[in-house]
Amino acid sequence: MGLVGGFGVVLTGATGMVGQAFLRQRGAHPVHALVRSPEGRDWGDGVHVVRGDLHGISEALFPRYPYVVLHLAMKQRDTDGTGFERTNVDGTRRLLSRLTGDCRGVILGSSMSVYGPGPHRGVKEDHPLKPITALARSRVAAEDLITEHAVRTGLHAALLRPRFLLGRGDRFVLPAMVKLLKRGVQVGDDGVGCSVIDVDDLGRILWRLARRMVETPRPEQQAFNAAYSRPLMRGEFLGTVAQGLGLPRPTVKVRAPGWLLRVMRETPSRRARAMAERLELLTHSQCLDVSRLAAVLGPEDLLARSPVDALRSALNDFRS
């Protein structure tokens, strides 16, 4: 097949929520996907699946034409107790060391967690990084590796920092809210805000950033907060979900004082630390300033979409 649009993408983390959304938005662009277990999936035309992982990368992963790397293969949950370093830090280092041919840049799927627990109201990309969890620290380390490599070798680098993802494949954000609503519980006040984005809109943004890397001769290395311009307030989040699913508004409101969260974070119990992390996410505002990304995306701004509209769309997926 001919090369459409002048470039392709090397994708890690193709089976995850963001990787799948990115593939849904690919159009006719070729994608080379590194996949540990490719069986049982219809990958579609133009997706060249290469079996392997970050510690076993075949040269077949890298095309002979200009390409951008989208690195999404980050370990998100430490279910086996082995930590995050091997995949998120060492795996990223190995991927960078293997880049061959006409690579134009690397996009990393990072997270707002690199800024620390907050509360955050309109946090910008130049905010000091204060990761407090092992996962967030590994993300910062991966960001540093990619930025340093890009500066040294003259590549573009974009570090994407979303907070909450809605839409197809969401097994955490909306399901957790629905579970609490069904129990009649609200965590956090109505005025707590959170930055959200539909995963398919994020997929579209990733393609635009990839294209920009190919079309912009002077390499740029920068972080981008990724969310809709307006945060979703807790009251409208719960109200929309309750109305959409025919559930009553919660009768019990849970607040978590800062001292309690600090105590839970410092306990040896992994379960208590995980609970503190979850409560921080739900009781502290997590709002991003996305003006840098909006300036890059241009006038047809995906970020202007109403977060309530995105939530209603996600609810339709959830119901079906």
pLDDT in tens, 153-173: 999 999 999 999 999 999 999
Tell me: the pLDDT tens digits for 2-23?
455 689 999 999 999 999 999 9
Q: Is the dihedral of CA 41, 43, 49, 54 positive or negative?
A: negative
Global pTM reads 0.93
What integer pLDDT is reported at residue 290 of this predicted model? 97
What integer pLDDT is reported at residue 30 of this predicted model? 95
Range of the domain at 110: 8-162+198-227+288-303
CATH number at residue 84: 3.40.50.720
Q: Is residue 239 part of a domain?
A: no
What integer pLDDT is reported at residue 28 of this predicted model? 85
Q: Is residue 63 part of a domain?
A: yes
Q: Is residue 21 part of a domain?
A: yes
What integer pLDDT is reported at residue 2 of this predicted model? 44
Q: Is residue 234 part of a domain?
A: no
Q: Is residue 283 part of a domain?
A: no
- All residue ranges of the chain with pLDDT < 50 are 1-2
Q: Per the structure, how many domains does the chain have?
A: 1
Q: Is residue 73 part of a domain?
A: yes
Q: Is residue 270 part of a domain?
A: no
Q: Is residue 262 part of a domain?
A: no
What integer pLDDT is reported at residue 6 of this predicted model? 82
What integer pLDDT is reported at residue 1 of this predicted model? 40
